[in-house]
Structure 1
């Protein structure tokens, strides 16, 4: 059994389709984070992949944000699947369950923790040493603590706590547990490219949580490279947490093993990154059944790289797909929705479910097909001609038998007193027709359409070069195009034009020439401050090389220079 986790930074960035990526990873279970897709944007090619079943969690509040997805080979079909950690997003019977004690959280807080689409849980049956067992895979995309948003730091810690409650509750119920994904915290100094705050490194709240969540094994060592050689990694006696960092279990002393790099600074070229993507497994599963684990930094396509783990167990597929599977979504079942579903009165009691859940969205769409008040934040477009959004007046369109004219007719001079006049002077509104593009495109085919009131296809049917009426129309419209062509009002030698050109060049001057950096003597790159503060919007020059450690001669030097406002 092979399992892979990868933060893909947008599932729609796979131009060749997700099928190719899955085939390249060649794993039984593939967990993606940061899919950045909402349900209304999920296309069939991504949702339905031959040989796999898929399970998604979507962000309810923002489009193109967060989101996770788990793909399972047909030979690894789960017998249960669930969205979220709290249980509030799941109303079907085949749910995973085991939520732990969440009494310290309010229902509103739990809903907010799950509404960003950060977790999908699948439960599988495995055969280990001729004994059938259960393993639950928790695919998570943990929040990032934005330094400019203090409330997100608290949100991240609360998410960690709910995650731990759920994982330990599943373990207590008798299932093996694998927690994997983007945790957004580097655990030890060895997992960080440049831990400058080494004295307070362990004081980070996220790292404190990891210390309590993880078993004190290989990841706890602390010699000169960050490890304690006296620590017995083969000990079967748990020292603290119930889970093991699988990569560090197999590679306790490997340095420069990172999974995430900044794309803005090109840090991947110099391997100046962090390890924030993990596979955690319960202690017994890690020590008894995991055979290997490693990183895949050679796989590009995201600012993260995949992480894989391999177990000696074999998977036993479920004979039927769980209700959460995307193949069960109405938009992919191939069944046309009945109009009566949008008109029938729904019992209000049946609407008493979590507003952010998929079931609630489907039911609300049936009652309110225009999506007014939809909590998802992304209104689904439905073809309902008889209804219109509130506050907007509907326009009544007169239907006539007269075919629509060509696009060029919208750029003609207006008619006076309902009588066409070919002598109408060019107004400012008609300046668009005087452009060289429209003069060039003023062909006989288009002009016949304008004069006769026929569309282009009808004009093509009568224009054969032999009709006198057609020839007259062509000559008439050529004359019109000539009259629509304005005469130049300013000569090239006009001194006013020259003065104007000098003025605008002085105001809209281009960027200053880049200075060479002091160390490499290479032209620098221009950057702009985007962080809120007194320097917001200011420009500066830095070395053009990718960011890296100060000891790396190929990395960026410390050259920095502000761009003077006067330049």
Structure 2
């Protein structure tokens, strides 16, 4: 699928063939979001962005307007993030929220809570483990907040669906290195799968699922219990997707009573464009309950959508943002009234509110509209601008006429001679030797007062060059000297040519030590002293058991069909070639 073949973002969403679409890692801001992304014609949209750091995190939910309209919607998990004016009690999704303060956990734009009647959807992007103690604590607190919010909803009798990037594996088979972690743990004296479950957030994830004593069902795994390598995320920087060397960290989790509604659930690894792939579920149009009652999905999912009647979405939808309710700047540049005289040249006064001007700049579509509108401005304003330009020219000329009158002789000079007058001295004037100048040449008259009317000596540079060519310093060498010089020059040229050939020659490609195959060159992009330097590593893709080095991989765990641990700086490869004889 080539995403650039679609003309609009609305077309992209339609191509996904879903009524409810959830995104994570939007990596944008409200101000930087294009209008076609925030307001696609066929969908209602909801967003949560970081309140401090921009271009980071962020989640979005799109609902197809002709199929489903949410009942309620909130930003964040804690209930502390509120729009202006604040949500009323009837607009809130829950009556009860986690009891302790968690607003700082909601400031990174990581969750949206949407009430669809049949269930409450939580679209979330859980924090990644960056290796620092501070972020590790933040990650665990966020997972705890998510679990507490789900518990509050279940306590209120609601069914819950949690979707998104949870940044944690739920089973050993969900990790490309899972079995190796278990084997390494056993070698270190650990029991069973302790080598894999030693990370706290994995344990919490396992305990949250029904199989581990929790309340949530991993619906995709339930449909595919024995499927191996069912990964949803890959490190594309090391080419891991080509060999399916990844992890399953993207989930659809349900409370048990929603399971009968699910007709299909799977991943879509064939959909490219990200380091993650989509995960989907398909719901039945209707189900038969245990008492024989038939329940239609359209009757219990969202607000009622009838023919020609589509209710408004909840108030935090993007269509209600202030920047989407105000007039565009182009609306202020309307055509003049027909009753106005066409001969009027007075420039009309334009008054624009501060809000309108700011939003017009922030909105790309509004900016383009204002430009096109300004081009179609009434012609009455054009003469005023022309008059202003002419007035400036007249004022400039007036200043020139106020200068003292020139001498009659200078006024009689031809226009052609005036055109030749230079504004600066010639190069010859700075380099010529006074004693070498011809004595017959009279001094050039100079008008100090005005600087106008000087005669131009067009041959000055030519005469200087002729003089220099006739001086002793520039005398041509004798034939014998020329022959010796030519020999030395040729030898020097050959040496220089060899040096440049070595410098400009492509870096020789070394062979990797594990497979004796040509290595592949990469460039360091990480900030630091080595940024920009080039290096070679094994050209084979990574895979389970690829050689990470002796410090990270036991030798008996190395699978030679994948990348070996070969590494060499490109500069070292060039030095090795230079040391070889004949090079």
TM-score range normalised by the length of the shorter chain:
0.5 to 0.7
Of residues 281, 301, 313, the one that matches 2:254 is 281
Do residues 78 (structure 1) and 85 (structure 2) align? no
Aligned match of 1:435? none
Of residues 166, 169, 178, the one that matches 2:152 is 169
Tell me the alpha carbon deviations over residues 478-529 of structure 1, each in whole angstroms, 9 at most, x when there is no partner.
x9xxx9xxxxxxxxx998x979988995997677322133455543222345
Shift of 1:291: 2.8
CA distance in 2, matches of 1:404, 1:259: 67
Aligned match of 1:213? 208
Aligned match of 2:422? 423
Shift of 1:283: 2.2
**Structure 1 SS opposite 2:46:** strand
CA distance in 2, matches of 1:526, 1:246: 42
The number of aligned residues is 401
Find the structure with the greater CA-based Rg.
2
Do residues 252 (structure 1) and 235 (structure 2) align? no
**Structure 2 SS opposite 1:56:** strand
CA distance in 2, matches of 1:85, 1:151: 21
Tell me the alpha carbon deviations over residues 296-315 of structure 1, each in whole angstroms, 9 at most, x when there is no partner.
11111111110011233514
**Structure 2 SS opposite 1:62:** coil
CA distance in 1, matches of 2:128, 2:425: 59
Do residues 548 (structure 1) and 505 (structure 2) align? no
Of residues 20, 23, 46, the one that matches 2:11 is 20
RMSD: 4.4
Shift of 1:135: 0.6
Contact 1:270 1:555 in 2 (8 A): no
CA distance in 2, matches of 1:529, 1:513: 18
Q: Which has the higher helix share?
A: 2
Aligned match of 1:194? 177
Contact 1:82 1:121 in 2 (8 A): yes
Tell me the alpha carbon deviations over residues 419-461 of structure 1, each in whole angstroms, 9 at most, x when there is no partner.
9985346999xxxxxxxxxxxxxxxxxxxxxxxxxxxxxxxxx
Shift of 1:43: 1.5
Aligned match of 2:32? 41
**Structure 1 SS opposite 2:31:** helix
Of residues 8, 22, 31, the one that matches 1:31 is 22
Aligned match of 2:264? 292
CA distance in 2, matches of 1:422, 1:114: 73
Shift of 1:317: 3.7
Aligned match of 2:245? 272
Of stretches 88-97 and 515-524 in structure 1, the one that deviates more from structure 2 is 515-524
The residue correspondences of 1:20-419 to structure 2 (distance < 5 A) are 20-74=11-65, 75-90=67-82, 91-93=86-88, 94-103=91-100, 105=101, 110-125=102-117, 134-147=118-131, 149-195=132-178, 196-198=180-182, 199=185, 200-216=195-211, 240-286=213-259, 288-312=260-284, 314-315=297-298, 316-318=301-303, 319-333=311-325, 335=327, 401=389
**Structure 2 SS opposite 1:76:** coil
Shift of 1:531: 6.0
The residue correspondences of 1:433-444 to structure 2 (distance < 5 A) are none
Aligned match of 1:514? 509
Aligned match of 2:306? none
Summarize the Cα distance change of 1:162–1:553 in structure 2 as closer, same or farther, 3 Å threshold.
same
Contact 2:168 2:249 in 1 (8 A): yes
CA distance in 2, matches of 1:499, 1:369: 66
Shift of 1:331: 2.1
Q: Which stretches in structure 2 are left out of the alignment for 5+ residues?
A: 186-194, 287-296, 304-310, 332-352, 368-386, 394-417, 428-457, 463-485, 546-557, 576-583
CA distance in 1, matches of 2:517, 2:96: 57
CA distance in 1, matches of 2:498, 2:75: 61
Of stretches 535-544 and 75-84 in structure 1, the one that deviates more from structure 2 is 535-544
TM-score if structure 1 supplies the norm length? 0.61
**Structure 1 SS opposite 2:274:** coil
Summarize the Cα distance change of 1:170–1:503 in structure 2 as closer, same or farther, 3 Å threshold.
farther
Contact 1:79 1:320 in 2 (8 A): no
CA distance in 1, matches of 2:135, 2:153: 27
TM-score if structure 2 supplies the norm length? 0.59
CA distance in 2, matches of 1:267, 1:241: 32
Contact 2:207 2:214 in 1 (8 A): yes
CA distance in 1, matches of 2:48, 2:543: 36
